[in-house]
Structure 1
Amino acid sequence: MTSLLLDRRDRTSTGRAQRPLVLIATLGGAAAALAPLLVCVAVGVIGWFAADAGAHGAPRDGMRMGAVAWLMAHGSGITVRGVAVGAVPLGLTVICAWSIWRLGHRVGDALSGHGPDADRISDGERDLTVPLATGLFFIGYALVAVVTATLTASVETTLSVPHVILWSVAMTLAFAGPGIAIGSGRAAIWATFVPAVIRQGAATAIAILTAFLALSAVVFLVSLAFGIGEAATMMSQLHLSAGEGIVYAIANGGFLPNASLFSGSFLLGPGFAVGGNTLVSPGAVVLGPLPLFALLAALPTIGTPGAVVSSLVWLPPLVAALATMWWQRRHPALTWLEAALRGCGGGIVAGLAFAVLASVAGGAVGPGRMRFVGPFVPEVLVAAITAFGLGGLLGALVMAWYHRRSTPEES
């Protein structure tokens, strides 16, 4: 931020040359893609050797599987001999997103001296540093993705390159763009032009969404703990060696965020499907034959859940209210209207965000009925907006009342 406040003439006088924007941003995007890709390739080789000590295939097979996993984390899906698998391992996607964010922030810091300074931006001068750097970052990232997809495809398997590019665009806009804006200091300047109620509403939405995602993960882990015996039975039925068991555990771990989003959809009420004509919700559980995947051991018993499980639908609005109260206790609203707008608006935005995440949590995982796996997104959207909006509104009003009661002279 300090570097942004320096005028270009000041930089010239200090003898510090600006770094080339095109080179820094493009290489940053390529590095953000290569870092997790190389890790996936290394894990693939280790997994290939651990499975059978290298008795079958070659190291390039392990490298290829690591690259396929990286591409699937970008929505590529994979079709093997006509069978489509479209589920995205969001655990790996989270790692890729973190890499994009970190490299984007570093690119922004390196480019903080480009463009007009803070005073000139405040005066309305156009500044294209962040949009240009974000576009170049995407070019570097997409180039690595396209080359990887081209080298990975084979006669027996196909990958969707357009989906990879689309996901790369979305992840660049969602993580690289903000990272560059924050690292370059532009975000701090732009924030001054945004009304305070909008900034606080966005912060409330982040607090609600974070709290609910944490709750969903905890509920899933508790359910998995109760089904740990069934998970062990699944692994024993597969007759895995020690090395294969490690690879199997890593594969399950890649879908932990997906399972947490399934859990959140369950808590909201609509639930999710694990195959065609199935339903997993607080009101009813209808299942069919399931694959031997350890995370499925967390599924509830077939039938009508008990009162304790059914009452879990009250947790989403409660968590939204508590998260809103926690945030507004630290940042009190000045008026009742502002408090209501923060809480209700933030809850609605959090509901929209959760529905977007739920929409990418599912996908085909096999042929036949297993093509239909995932949350019921339209119903989840309505339930999330309602639960988070009402919970946020209630929490905001309660905290506004508390502040006015504790400081009557300022009300």
Structure 2
Amino acid sequence: MAAATAAGIGLAVIVTLTMVGWVAAPHDTFGEEIVDLLQGAVLAWLVGHHVSFSVPEGDISLLPIGLVLLPGLLLYRSGRWVARNCEIARLRHVHRAAIAIAGPYAAIAGTLALLARTDTVEPSMPRALLMGFVIAFLAGGLGVLRQLMRDKGVVARDLLGLMPARSRSLLVGMLASTGTLLAGGFLLFLVALAVSLPEAVETTRLLAPGWVGGLLLLLIQLAYLPNAVVFAVCYALGPGFAVGEMTVVAPTGVSVGPLPLLPMLAALPENGAAPVLSLAALAVPFVAGAVGGVLTQRSAPDVVSEAAPLWGFVCGVTTGLLCAALGELAGGSLGGHRLSDVGPSAWQVGLVAALEVGVAAAIAAWVANWWYTRRSPAAATTATAATAATAGAPAGDAPEPEAERAGRVELPADVPVGEGLATVTPLRPREDKGGGVAVEEAPEAPAEDAATAGPTAEEERERKERERAERAEARAAARAARAADRERKREERRARRAERPRLWRRRAAEDDSEDLYGITYEAGPDEADGPRP
């Protein structure tokens, strides 16, 4: 039901927009064009799922990324509806609900790809199945997860806390670097469009779309806006992008031919040398790398300073892989002949992004890690106290217990401590059991505080001794049970060997020597004594 509802509402919206465009344009009688109209609406719905199609002149694969927002939002709401109406016990079962939505949705997309086929247009059915499943799985699963988190009172920070510290830091760094690149590309596109605004206005005047056509033209350009932002990112990285065969738009130079009449294409620079103002965009990947490297080490600093640049470079590599995927998604073909190659080269964009962002992130991660670890434990303690005071809880409200304060070991000033660093646990000597090192006993509490001090030191020692004796008895019983089980299995093996027909017999000593024994180490720390060495 969720998959069918999302597909039906999305198709209804596309059909409505198609009907508006048909009414605003010159047309024949409605009865003669109804089939073509519905097929065009279904094709537009498939384009919204990034499904390419073939025409007699070639393939149409330069599709608007922004149009994916419509099915994504509908599937997100359908996922939340599924979470509210189905019993999903745990967050780890989200993928089951996502698959339950994605399977029927992919089947609907494949069926519509078959229905939209004509003599001149043929959508790719395998791509319809794949993209329908992927979009429904991601958007629907995200909706299910969001609703479950809301119902169970789980915040995103707690969900990220389930990830390992290093994986979480790399994810944060990669998203920060990619977000900085996209923000820089968006700013570059806006500046280029503002500079060429008179040309864009003149192109719109030549098209003369009218009010309805102008609104549809604006929607089409907004749908292609993410593609333009990715193209601008590729320009800032250096490889640039193509606007047809034998063309290039890069900082090294611009060479383009005749272009379709689309107002947003006025942002492309003129043929010749690249504008001097646009060369400032070359600093964007290095800024993105610096941001990603700092955030990578902020959440998980390294005690070994040589490891910080390595993780910063890994952040750059993952950012390069994501940029390559975005470049592949944004580019494509607009039929045959000259516009058969539009967009960036995915592998070149990924390689250059990995190097530029990775080097900048490595340097920034090393500096950030040095800055974090140079602080002494005293400075970290002061920062913790300041944080507690800011939150409204004075640091002195929870005094440290006397026993912990007496047994605490002062660490050297050059040992880095803090969140994400190596945990340093002080080891205490055990009580003397006939020749061992004795622990200095804590001073007895005053007599007037005996009623509120709890059990005395003697009672506490007796309780510990009883617990140790009980654990020792349990371990001895477990060892005896394991020994009896091994002896039983040994007798069974001997009995089976004795029943087999053999040409020769081994000696008993050789039989015993074949048995393997496992050693179990009982190394669990005592709850009251703290960790043992």
**Short-chain TM bin:** 0.7 to 0.9
Deviation of 1:134 (Å) = 2.6
Q: Which runs of 5+ in 2 are unaligned?
A: 381-415, 417-533
User: Would you say the 8 A contact 2:105–2:133 is kept in 1?
Assistant: no
User: Would you say the 8 A contact 2:52–2:124 is kept in 1?
Assistant: yes
Equivalent of residue 141 in structure 1, options 76, 101, 105: 105
Aligned to 1:86: 61
Matched, 1:303 2:277: no
Q: One-letter code of the match for 2:78?
A: L
Query: Against the structure 1 CA distance between its residues 352 and 173, is the aligned structure 2 distance closer, same or farther, given a 3 Å change threshold?
Result: farther
Q: Secondary structure at the match of 1:312?
A: helix
Q: One-letter code of the match for 1:30?
A: A
Deviation of 1:154 (Å) = 2.4
Aligned to 2:255: 286
Matched, 1:150 2:124: no
Distance 1:340 1:33 in 2: 47
User: Would you say the 8 A contact 1:234–1:292 is kept in 2?
Assistant: yes
Deviation of 1:276 (Å) = 0.2
Matched, 1:374 2:358: no
Q: Which has the higher helix share?
A: 1
Q: One-letter code of the match for 1:287?
A: V
For residues 311-360 of structure 1, give each alpha carbon's deviation from its aligned partner in whole angstroms, at most 9, with x where no partner exists.
Answer: 4222112123135436765x463534675455332332122111101101
Distance 2:139 2:296 in 1: 23
User: Would you say the 8 A contact 1:112–1:183 is kept in 2?
Assistant: no
Deviation of 1:153 (Å) = 2.5
Higher relative contact order, chain-length normalized (CA < 8 Å, sep 6+): 1
Query: Against the structure 1 CA distance between its residues 296 and 162, is the aligned structure 2 distance closer, same or farther, given a 3 Å change threshold?
Result: same
Equivalent of residue 272 in structure 1, options 220, 233, 241: 241
Q: One-letter code of the match for 1:371?
A: S
Q: Secondary structure at the match of 1:360?
A: helix
User: Would you say the 8 A contact 2:103–2:133 is kept in 1?
Assistant: no
State which drifts further: 61-70 or 309-318: 61-70
Query: Against the structure 1 CA distance between its residues 38 and 388, is the aligned structure 2 distance closer, same or farther, given a 3 Å change threshold?
Result: farther
Equivalent of residue 228 in structure 1, options 186, 197, 210: 197
Aligned to 2:168: 199
Aligned to 1:33: 7
Aligned to 1:72: 47
Matched, 1:176 2:140: yes
Query: Against the structure 1 CA distance between its residues 210 and 98, is the aligned structure 2 distance closer, same or farther, given a 3 Å change threshold?
Result: farther
Query: Against the structure 1 CA distance between its residues 94 and 406, is the aligned structure 2 distance closer, same or farther, given a 3 Å change threshold?
Result: farther
Listed as ranges, the matches of 1:391-406 within 5 Å are 391-405=360-374
User: Would you say the 8 A contact 2:316–2:358 is kept in 1?
Assistant: yes
Q: Secondary structure at the match of 1:258?
A: helix
Query: Against the structure 1 CA distance between its residues 217 and 98, is the aligned structure 2 distance closer, same or farther, given a 3 Å change threshold?
Result: farther
Query: Against the structure 1 CA distance between its residues 246 and 53, is the aligned structure 2 distance closer, same or farther, given a 3 Å change threshold?
Result: farther
For residues 192-222 of structure 1, give each alpha carbon's deviation from its aligned partner in whole angstroms, at most 9, with x where no partner exists.
Answer: 6642111121122112112211221121121
Deviation of 1:406 (Å) = 5.6
TM-score (norm 1): 0.80
Aligned to 1:345: 314
- Percent identical pairs in the alignment equals 28
Q: Which runs of 5+ in 1 are unaligned?
A: 1-26, 119-126
Aligned to 1:388: 357
Aligned to 1:247: 216
Deviation of 1:63 (Å) = 4.5
User: Would you say the 8 A contact 1:110–1:184 is kept in 2?
Assistant: no
Matched, 1:46 2:20: yes
State which drifts further: 89-98 or 170-179: 170-179
Matched, 1:167 2:131: yes
Q: Secondary structure at the match of 1:100?
A: helix
Listed as ranges, the matches of 1:317-332 within 5 Å are 317-325=286-294, 331=299
TM-score (norm 2): 0.63
- How many pairs are equivalent? 373
User: Would you say the 8 A contact 1:90–1:254 is kept in 2?
Assistant: yes
Q: Secondary structure at the match of 1:84?
A: strand
Equivalent of residue 301 in structure 2, options 304, 315, 333: 333
Distance 1:130 1:345 in 2: 29
For residues 105-145 of structure 1, give each alpha carbon's deviation from its aligned partner in whole angstroms, at most 9, with x where no partner exists.
Answer: 5434554534xx68xxxxxxxx7x44432322112211321
Aligned to 2:331: 362
Distance 1:88 1:168 in 2: 15
Deviation of 1:101 (Å) = 3.7
Q: Secondary structure at the match of 1:210?
A: helix
Query: Against the structure 1 CA distance between its residues 163 and 136, is the aligned structure 2 distance closer, same or farther, given a 3 Å change threshold?
Result: same
Q: Secondary structure at the match of 1:302?
A: coil
Distance 1:100 1:402 in 2: 45
Deviation of 1:177 (Å) = 3.8
User: Would you say the 8 A contact 2:173–2:291 is kept in 1?
Assistant: no
Q: One-letter code of the match for 2:100?
A: L
Distance 1:60 1:31 in 2: 23
For residues 245-276 of structure 1, give each alpha carbon's deviation from its aligned partner in whole angstroms, at most 9, with x where no partner exists.
Answer: 22222222211111111111111100110000
Q: One-letter code of the match for 1:40?
A: I
Distance 1:334 1:149 in 2: 52
Which structure is larger by alpha-carbon Rg, 1 or 2?
Answer: 2
Q: One-letter code of the match for 1:28?
A: A
Deviation of 1:147 (Å) = 3.1
Aligned to 1:316: 285
